[in-house]
Amino acid sequence: MSPQLIPKYIEELALNIANEEAKNAQEASTREGSLALARRLETESETAGFTSVKDYIQSLTTDPKGVEPPEGTTPTSAFWSHGIPNTRAPLNWNSERFLDNRYIAEAWARSQNKRNPGSAQTLETTAGGRRLNEMYLFEDAVRKALGGDEEGYTYAWARECWGNISQTYAEAAEGPVVVFAETAHTRSILYNSELPTLHANQHVGLDNINFAYPAPQAWPKETRTEVGTNGVRAQVQVDDPSLPHYVDPVAYATQDPVARQAAVAAECASVTAERAERTVEKAGSASSATESRGPEAETPAAAVPKQTEKPTASIPVWQMGFKPTPVKPEAATATSTVKSTAPPAPDLGKQATGTGMG
């Protein structure tokens, strides 16, 4: 039986969150709003003892305390990338009405927390994620008010800040996590940072990575069944044949079943080995940093918080897209909901890490 489309109440809540966010971003992009935001950040950075706003912001993105859940809870963490066309969503960077999966994930988290407080979260609802989000670093006017490209406040730097805090968030996750995406695009933070970090996280691991959406319906049945599993989608990529770990969804179904499954297994083993090597290198760097700071930098065993019982969050399995709302013929253009498509150059929002993404 096919999964249900994303529930209507999730769509409505996600649209409310998205439109409110768009309103706040628009206010921050005005001259008055951007200058007020820059002054606030300057005051905050000075109070925190930083000589520059840039250093202050960057420190927030790597602070584990900023992404810690409320005391006594270990919620199911949500991650996201890409989104779904929707005619009632705000305009995106490409002047298209597009609902980021961020807002769908946040709507899911809110609904879970309403049923079971402290059971779910997204990056943007943590203290650190919320603070970074309220800086609106993707707005040109805000970066200009802070000093502009000449001072290093570039669009690429803004993506780097979100990449850093996304990794910090993934490092802090525990237990099952949920990914709001069909696949992980090679230009996304999800693919380049979050999934590798979750895979290596001893409190999560590959078996606890769950996709909220099934594999794309456009894939052949054999590909959906074999490549569309959570574990495989968390490791391989399907959008860039020039990069490692690529699987062609269409060609895959035409290959010998035994050979293709063996090839995917080998590809996943290669990904696991690469991620393990990266984890070892990172651990070595962290160890060296701790030694350079001296014994006082180590955390006493008594200071390690005790594990708490994890609230139950229901991990969704929804089909991408929304159930169209019946409308009068003359109003159809203005109010109908667009069904999900797979655009060749997806809008990855803040999750974009490559060049050429607006």
Output the DSSP codes for 177-224: EEEESSS--TTBHIIIIIHHHHHH-TTT-GGGEEESSPSPTTS-HHHH
pLDDT value of position 358: 34
User: Do 51 and 112 form a contact (C-beta atoms < 8 A)?
Assistant: no
Per-residue confidence band for 323, with pLDDT thresholds at 50, 70 and 90: confident
pLDDT value of position 95: 87
Q: Tell me: the pLDDT tens digits for 263-320?
A: 999 999 999 999 998 777 676 655 555 454 454 444 343 344 444 566 679 999 999 9
Question: Judging by DSSP bridges, how do beta strands 177-180 and 76-80 pair with one another?
Answer: parallel
Tokens of 283: 């651990």
The whole-angstrom separation of Cα 18 and Cα 15 is 5
Residue 95 lies in a domain: yes
Ranges 10-14, 96-100, 291-295, 340-344: which has the least confidence: 340-344
The whole-angstrom separation of Cα 97 and Cα 103 is 14
Q: Which domain holds residue 163?
A: 5-219+317-328
Nearest alpha-carbon partner for 123 in 138, 105, 142: 105
pLDDT value of position 305: 43
Share of the chain above pLDDT 90, in %: 76
Residue 205 lies in a domain: yes
pLDDT value of position 340: 39
Above 50 in pLDDT, residue 113?
yes
Above 50 in pLDDT, residue 347?
no
pLDDT value of position 220: 98
The whole-angstrom separation of Cα 38 and Cα 131 is 14
Q: Tell me: the pLDDT tens digits for 67-110?
A: 999 888 889 999 999 999 999 999 988 889 999 999 999 999 99
pLDDT value of position 277: 87
Number of domains making up the chain = 1
The whole-angstrom separation of Cα 4 and Cα 17 is 22
Strands, E, within the chain: which ranges? 5-6, 76-80, 83-85, 98-100, 120-122, 177-180, 209-211, 319-322
pLDDT value of position 325: 66
Average pLDDT over residues 193-219: 97
Residue 160 lies in a domain: yes
pLDDT value of position 70: 87
Phi, psi of 152 (to 5 degrees): 90, 5
Above 80 in pLDDT, residue 354?
no
Residue 226 lies in a domain: no
Residue 344 lies in a domain: no
Tokens of 275: 């991620």
Average pLDDT over residues 104-127: 96
Average pLDDT over residues 25-31: 97
The number of beta carbons lying within 10 Å of the beta carbon of residue 139 is: 21
pLDDT value of position 348: 46
Residue 198 lies in a domain: yes
Report the mean per-residue pLDDT for the chain: 87
The whole-angstrom separation of Cα 105 and Cα 179 is 8
The whole-angstrom separation of Cα 142 and Cα 238 is 35
User: Do 272 and 199 form a contact (C-beta atoms < 8 A)?
Assistant: yes
* Higher-confidence position of 302 and 26: 26
Residue 244 lies in a domain: no
Q: What's at 110, amino acid-wise?
A: R
Within 13 Å of residue 147, how many CA atoms lie on the same side as its CB?
11
pLDDT value of position 133: 97
* Higher-confidence position of 324 and 274: 274
Above 50 in pLDDT, residue 121?
yes
Q: At what angle do helices 53-61 and 31-47 cross, to 10 degrees?
A: 80
The structure tokens 């991650």 sit at: 79
Residue 73 lies in a domain: yes
Neighbouring-strand partners of residue 79: 179
